[in-house]
Amino acid sequence: MCGSRLFGLEAELSDKDFIVFVGGQDAEIVTEDHPYQVKDGVFDYFLHRLDSCLSLDYCASPMIVPSYDSVFDYEDTSVKEFWAENSSTLADISPNSTYRMTIETVEDFIGRGEDRYHKISVRLLGLIWCRFYVGNMLQAKFFPDFLRNRYYDAKNGTIGEREIKLMLEECETNTFRRYFSNCPRNQEIHDQYKKIIDTVLSKEEYK
């Protein structure tokens, strides 16, 4: 699961968003920079290439890290079991990478000048803000009331680009930068993950 429901920010009619990792021929429709989106009624599926996870930084994407403890199903049980056993470690596989990608993504959203990105920007920056204070990426998705209200204000159009920029500036202070730059990368867990991915992708159905 991903999106607003993962953060407990959904409305009654919110879509149900899911990340789907694909291999083999299915992966050919997905580029690393632009995951493919499939809509099916109230369900939105965001497709990612499983082989992209051979990059540690990709595993630390702010679009992925909050979801490591929210796995519903997986065709290959080895991946599902690995996520279940290591969800907290995977979510904090490289907090500085997550931080940097969040800042870059929000800057890109601001540059597009589209209101629909405001709520996503608040959600991404809120994750970083909370990670700074609670020290755990999975716990960071449970926003305090003021951040929840800010998300709803962005969703409803009550706040806009000006407020997003102020929030971004707060997350770009030297205090935040130093904190995240001192967070370690977990190469050991990534090496374990890569072995599982290589095994899965070596199977005939994924070639």
Beta strands at 43-49 and 16-22: parallel, antiparallel or unpaired: parallel
The verdict on 78 and 158 lying in the same domain is: no
The verdict on 89 and 99 lying in the same domain is: no
The verdict on 106 and 166 lying in the same domain is: yes
Distance between CA 184 and CA 199 in Å, rounded? 27
- SS3 state of residue 22: strand
Write out the two tokens for 118: 């405001």
The verdict on 112 and 11 lying in the same domain is: no
Q: Domains in the chain: how many in total?
A: 2
User: Dihedral (C-alpha) 33, 194, 191, 98: value to the nearest 10 degrees?
Assistant: 20
**Region for 157 from its dihedrals, namely left if φ exceeds 0, alpha if ψ lies in -120 to 50, beta otherwise:** left
Beta partners for residue 45, in sequence order: 18, 38
The set of residues, in sequence order, having a beta carbon less than 8 Å from that of 99 and lying 6+ positions away, is 128, 131, 176, 180
The verdict on 85 and 106 lying in the same domain is: no
The verdict on 15 and 69 lying in the same domain is: yes
Write out the two tokens for 187: 């190469």
Q: Per-residue pLDDT tens, the chain, 207 aa: give them.
A: 888 999 999 987 788 888 888 887 666 767 655 556 677 667 888 888 899 999 999 999 999 999 999 887 767 788 889 999 999 999 999 999 999 999 999 999 999 888 889 999 999 999 999 999 999 999 999 999 999 999 999 999 999 999 999 999 999 999 999 999 999 999 999 999 999 999 998 885 555
- SS3 state of residue 18: strand
The verdict on 19 and 32 lying in the same domain is: yes
Global confidence as pTM:
0.91
Write out the two tokens for 36: 């493919």
Could you tell me the residue range of the domain that residue 176 belongs to? 95-181
The verdict on 66 and 134 lying in the same domain is: no
The verdict on 82 and 110 lying in the same domain is: no
The verdict on 176 and 193 lying in the same domain is: no
The verdict on 69 and 24 lying in the same domain is: yes
The verdict on 112 and 31 lying in the same domain is: no
Q: Are 17 and 4 in contact (CB under 8 A)?
A: yes
